[in-house]
Amino acid sequence: MLSAGLLTLSLLSSTLRLSTPLILAALGGLYAERSGVINMALEGIMLAGAFTAATVTAFTGSPWWGLLGGLAAGLCIAALHAFCCINCRADQVVTGTAINILMLGIPPLISGALFESTGSTPSLAKTQTLPTLPIVIALVVAPVTMFVLFRTTFGLRLRAVGETPEAAATAGVSVTWIRWQGVLISGLLAGLGGVYLSIGQNSLYTRNMTAGRGYIALAALIFGNWLPWRVLLACLLFGLMDAVQIRLQGTSSVPTQFIQIIPYIFTMVVLAGFIGKSTPPKALGAPYITERR
Amino acid sequence: MKRGPRLGVMWLAALVWGAALGCGYTPRDEAGKLTVGIVFDIGGKDDKSFNAAAWEGAKRAKQELPIVLRHAEPGEPNNLEPCMRAFAERGYDLIIGIGFAQGPVLATVAKEYPHLHFAIVDAVVDLPNVASLVFKEHEGSFLVGMLAARASKTGKIGFVGGMDIPLIRKFATGYEEGARYVNPDIVVLKNFVGITDAAWNNPGKGKELAKAQYEAGADVVFQAAGNSGIGVFDAAEEHHKLAIGVDANQNWVKPGFVLTSMVKRVDVAVYTIIKEVLEGRFRGGRHAYGLENDGIAYALDDYNRPLVSESMLREVEAAREKIIRGELQVTDYMANLK
């Protein structure tokens, strides 16, 4: 009995650790997409946050500076995305993808100059990591997002510019500014997700260490139908699947390959069958052009 | 559709630019010297492990011998061939591929450039101009398995592999055999980070696997997982348990938590092959590194000496002698496949 209890406890904490980067990135993405901007760049933003946090911590010795650096990096990349998509009206998917590719290249370039390595930073001591703070923030962000989205003026405006930007503009709301805010918040949150990866869960940055988590976060966002609590659940479910997969491996005679595809099969099944119709914000992906009212 | 062709051109430009960057294109500047090109595995040269060991050997060669050394980090499997070809087209005297994944690519390129010398680590390519540098990892894994079983108080030990491939199974099988050699009842938990090459670069997952093993009662975990293995060391520190390093001597990574490292002297193999080409002694075919020529060893230094007792050391040394003399046979997982 005791060992069963321990197992569930370890499964639970493992689920939390594996879900945290997903929750932060997906809820970040929610702010951008609710305002009408597809944030394909989540993966790139996470990489930027992770790399900057590890680098700054390696130089200053303090994870708090690393945290600040990671958040700033997330903001910068998000600002780039916002500028291209909102001000220049570039294709949002193409811009996001370009940013993701860019962020595969930039960390190795910088780490080459700083540490003579290609994309990895020196290992940090255990005292130089922040293993719990991001988990707590991730769990708090969901209710906060619900409140912001449905109980505040800002939330109303955010949803308005994502559904019918023309009406919002007529009512005197600056579509450009609200969308900028949405994308910047997503930069902060996804950046924090990256910070957790490099100096929370781990103690260094390695090349492309997000390993597709930004895209899984996007899937969770769609799976969760752009609703905060459902997105949170979706991320926890993905984390749980991964944690279960880790514990199933090696304990049964089923080959590793089969056990490792569980999360992916699960994703396909839920996306294809069980969630019903997902309804994205109406103006998602469409740049707002003032003259075309 | 005005956008179509323009987008196409942009993509092409981006691709060319990416390929040029990825292959570290630099002009030959020092004429007359032996030119050596080294193509790393997906993990890249800073994995503190396998590739890092190869890079050590190459750097040593550059310091001590009159050679021009260039390296390329493909980053993803599709870039392997262009990177290797870039060296071959520019007539590099010796081109070294690091890692089993480059076997097929190197075979293709080496066939087209029979006048150039090639070397591959961890794979066998049957061509006269290719030296295949292979290691008897199972023997070294056997010895660290013995140490793990002796250091374990719970009778449970773990193994975290990177990508689930025969080469890594070879580590796992040798490790388990060694552990059983000293404790027939020992339980060995075995996990792999993944089934694609991303498995070498996922320290978060490596850490979760190790934590699950420690929580299940294992108190020594051997990692053979490239960059993902760094996560195993982190988990060992958090749980105050032991880990075993791989390929390079990793005892320094988390002093006090690393029992030993299964050292694979890729650095020696790389250095030696460069020297042989330089001195005109290159020969194709298999170059085997094992316990007998110190190509494979377990690491003992100031970082881990407090963790390894005299009796453990005597026992392991005795087994080492026996394996070298052929009195003790360790199963080679890969030999059994063929």
Total CB pairs under 8 A between chain A and B: 92
Distance CA B323, CA B306 (A): 26
Res B241: pLDDT? 97
The least confident of A38-52, A131-145, B98-112, B194-208 is B194-208
Q: Is there a contact between B234 and A17 if contact means CB atoms under 8 Å apart?
A: no
Q: Is there a contact between A14 and B192 if contact means CB atoms under 8 Å apart?
A: no
pLDDT bucket at B28, cuts 50 / 70 / 90: very low
Distance CA B17, CA B14 (A): 5
Residue type (1 letter), B20 = A
**Are B291 and B136 a contacting pair, CB within 8 Å?**
yes
Res B15: pLDDT? 55
pLDDT at position A93 over 50: yes
| SS3 call for A28 | helix
- If interface means Cβ-Cβ distance under 8 Å, which residues of chain A face chain B? 6-7, 10, 14, 17-18, 101, 104-105, 108, 115, 117-120, 123, 126, 197, 201-204, 206-209, 211-212, 242-243, 246-247, 249-250, 256-257, 260
pLDDT at position A5 over 70: no
Q: Is there a contact between A105 and B18 if contact means CB atoms under 8 Å apart?
A: yes
- Other beta carbons within 10 angstroms of residue A100's beta carbon come to 21
**Are A203 and A106 a contacting pair, CB within 8 Å?**
no
Residue among B125, B116, B133 nearest B265 (CA): B133
pLDDT at position B219 over 90: yes
Distance CA A236, CA A226 (A): 15
* Residue that the structure tokens 């956008």 belong to: B3
Tell me the per-residue pLDDT of B122-146, one tens digit each, with 9 for 90 and over. Answer: 999 999 999 999 999 999 999 999 9
pTM of the predicted protein model: 0.83
Residue among A152, A168, A155, A153 nearest A288 (CA): A168
Our measurement of the distance from residue B144's CA atom to the centroid of its chain's CA atoms, rounded to an integer in Å, reads 16
Q: Is B240 exposed, middle or buried (0-12, 13-18, 19+ CB in 10 A)?
A: exposed
Q: What residue segments make up the domains of chain B, in order of their start?
A: 29-135+267-289, 137-264+308-337
Tell me the shortest Cα–Cα distance from A257 to chain B, in angstroms. Answer: 7
Distance CA B155, CA B150 (A): 9
Tokens of A259: 């056990």
Res B12: pLDDT? 55
Residue among B291, B267, B255, B250 nearest B146 (CA): B291
Res B20: pLDDT? 47
Chain B contact set for A123 (CB, 8 A): 48, 230, 233, 253
Q: What percent of chain B has pLDDT over 90?
A: 77
Chain A contact set for B208 (CB, 8 A): 14, 17-18, 242-243, 246
Distance CA A282, CA A292 (A): 16
**Are B50 and B226 a contacting pair, CB within 8 Å?**
yes
**Are A198 and A54 a contacting pair, CB within 8 Å?**
yes
Q: Does B241 touch chain A (CB under 8 A)?
A: no
Nearest to A197 among B48, B204, B208 (CB): B204
- Other beta carbons within 10 angstroms of residue A132's beta carbon come to 13
Q: Is there a contact between B227 and A206 if contact means CB atoms under 8 Å apart?
A: yes
Residue among A127, A119, A132 nearest A51 (CA): A119
Q: Does B198 touch chain A (CB under 8 A)?
A: yes
pLDDT, average across residues B79-94: 94
The residues with which B94 forms a beta bridge, in sequence order, are B36, B117
Q: Is there a contact between B44 and A212 if contact means CB atoms under 8 Å apart?
A: no
Nearest to A257 among B75, B164, B237 (CB): B164
Res A278: pLDDT? 75
* H-run or E-run covering B285: strand B285-289
Q: Is there a contact between B164 and A101 if contact means CB atoms under 8 Å apart?
A: no
Nearest to B208 among A14, A123, A207 (CB): A14
ipTM of the complex: 0.81
Tell me the shortest Cα–Cα distance from A271 to chain B, in angstroms. Answer: 23
pLDDT, average across residues A274-293: 77
Residue among B95, B100, B98, B73 nearest B85 (CA): B95
CA-to-CA dists, residue A23 to A197, A278, B238, angstroms: 12, 19, 24
Residue type (1 letter), B299 = A
Tell me the shortest Cα–Cα distance from A152 to chain B, in angstroms. Answer: 37
* Domains, chain A, with CATH or none: 2-274 (1.10.3470)
Candidate CATH numbers 3.60.15.10, 3.40.630.30, 3.40.50.2300, 3.40.50.720; the one for domain B29-135+267-289: 3.40.50.2300
pLDDT, average across residues B53-72: 94
Characterize the bridge pairing of strands B258-264 and B296-298.
antiparallel
Tell me the per-residue pLDDT of B304-329, one tens digit each, with 9 for 90 and over. Answer: 999 999 999 999 999 999 999 999 99
Distance CA B327, CA A239 (A): 49
Distance CA B143, CA B306 (A): 18
pLDDT, average across residues A266-271: 74
Average pLDDT along chain A: 89
| SS3 call for B160 | strand
pLDDT at position B2 over 50: no
pLDDT at position B26 over 50: no
Tell me the shortest Cα–Cα distance from A148 to chain B, in angstroms. Answer: 32
Candidate CATH numbers 3.30.1280.10, 3.30.505.10, 3.40.50.2300, 3.10.20.600; the one for domain B137-264+308-337: 3.40.50.2300
Output B93 or A266, whichever has higher pLDDT.
B93
Distance CA A272, CA A289 (A): 34
CA-to-CA dists, residue A98 to A285, B28, B148, B192, angstroms: 16, 33, 47, 32
Tell me the per-residue pLDDT of A26-39, one tens digit each, with 9 for 90 and over. Answer: 999 999 999 999 99
pLDDT at position B13 over 70: no
Res A291: pLDDT? 64
**Are B291 and B323 a contacting pair, CB within 8 Å?**
yes
Q: Is there a contact between A246 and B208 if contact means CB atoms under 8 Å apart?
A: yes
Output A111 or B17, whichever has higher pLDDT.
A111
User: Same CATH topology for B29-135+267-289 and B137-264+308-337?
Assistant: yes
Res B303: pLDDT? 95
Characterize the bridge pairing of strands B34-39 and B94-98.
parallel
pLDDT bucket at B25, cuts 50 / 70 / 90: very low
pLDDT bucket at B29, cuts 50 / 70 / 90: low
Q: What percent of chain A has pLDDT over 70?
A: 93
Q: Is there a contact between B195 and A208 if contact means CB atoms under 8 Å apart?
A: no
Q: Does B164 touch chain A (CB under 8 A)?
A: yes
pLDDT, average across residues B82-94: 94
For chain B, state the CA radius of gyration: 21
pLDDT, average across residues B284-294: 93
* H-run or E-run covering B96: strand B94-98
Distance CA B315, CA A166 (A): 80
Tokens of B209: 């696997």
For B11-50, give one letter per residue: b (16+ CB within 10 A) or e. eeeeeeeebeebbbeeeeeeeeebbbbbbbbbbbbbbbbb
pLDDT at position B335 over 60: yes
Residue type (1 letter), B5 = P
Q: Does B73 touch chain A (CB under 8 A)?
A: yes
- Other beta carbons within 10 angstroms of residue B130's beta carbon come to 24
Output B147 or B46, whichever has higher pLDDT.
B147
pLDDT bucket at A217, cuts 50 / 70 / 90: very high
pLDDT at position A273 over 70: no
Tell me the shortest Cα–Cα distance from B198 to chain A, in angstroms. Answer: 7
> What helix, strand, coil percent values describe chain A, rounded to 5?
75, 0, 25
Q: Is there a contact between A120 and B211 if contact means CB atoms under 8 Å apart?
A: no
